[in-house]
Amino acid sequence: MRFDIVTLFPDCFTSILTSGLLGKALAKDIAQVHLVNPRDFTTDKHRKVDDEPYGGGVGMLMKPEPIFAAVESLPILPRRDVILMSPQGKQINQPLLRELATNYDQLVVICGHYEGVDDRVLNLVTREVSLGDFILTGGEIPSMALLNGVVRLLPGTVGKVESLKAESFEEGLLDFPQYTRPANFRGWQVPDVLLSGNHAAIAKWRFQQQIERTASRRPDLLEKWQEERGQGTVDS
């Protein structure tokens, strides 16, 4: 998969593109990331990418011309999505990441800055995506989250495919608690069922823990999970 990230601050991505599973995935050519700076497409001597909003207001807006020129300079693959990282967009969730990882060969991600972008930039994009209901100084951090979330779902990134299926949000519930050695640490004991070797009992315990943990920490998720299955309240 090809990622084209349109950003005024390409240096922000230096570390994440060479670290961890993401760095390994790029090294194995599972994905490619290209950083494009709109400032390189300005035509004035000051390389200006922002200006005051018409009608007045606080702050500056990113101008449309450099963004359009940057995006239009990119190759176009058959299955392409052009995303604007924006607090007005749909919040990132696991189904969205799966959709992007499955249905597209190219993601163009535009990182906004200042007070946002000229609204005519929306004519370029196919969707707006948000990290959540809060404001950051730019779209770089949200785009990193999107990049990481999509790449880890691509075949070959994660060694064991099964591990992707047994994670928080994949089945609509939070993950169950997990433990490793030692069995007793500072008086905190690993639950006996996990030491029993009884796989059926372990699976039942884990599922019940998912229900209880989701009920206590994210009741909204549990309600949605129950509605999707046509179930009433699950005892916890």
**Are the C-beta atoms of 35 and 5 separated by less than 8 Å?**
yes
Give dist(CA 33, CA 172) in Å, integer.
30
Of 12-26, 38-52, 128-142, 148-162, the range with the lowest mean pLDDT is 148-162
Domains of the chain as residue ranges with CATH: 2-151 (3.40.1280.10), 166-228 (1.10.1270.20)
In whole angstroms, what is the distance from residue 211 CA to residue 104 CA? 33
Of 35-49, 116-130, 170-184, the one with minimum mean pLDDT is 170-184
pLDDT of residue 169: 60
Rounded to 5 degrees, φ, ψ at 62 are -70, 130
Q: Cα torsion at 214, 219, 220, 224 (round to 10°)?
A: 60
Q: What is the pLDDT of residue 212?
A: 97
Q: How far is residue 30's CA from residue 151's CA, in Å, rounded to a whole number? A: 8
- Residue 226 CA from chain centroid, whole number: 25
Q: Tens digit of pLDDT for each residue in 146-198?
A: 999 999 999 999 875 555 555 556 678 999 999 999 999 999 999 999 999 99
What are the DSSP E strand ranges found in the chain?
A: 2-6, 32-36, 50-51, 61-62, 80-91, 106-111, 127-130, 184-185, 188-189
pLDDT(84) > 70 = yes
What pLDDT does residue 236 have?
42
Per-residue pLDDT tens over the stretch 185-231: 999 999 999 999 999 999 999 999 999 999 999 999 999 999 998 86
Instruction: Judge whether residue 8 has pLDDT over 60.
Output: yes
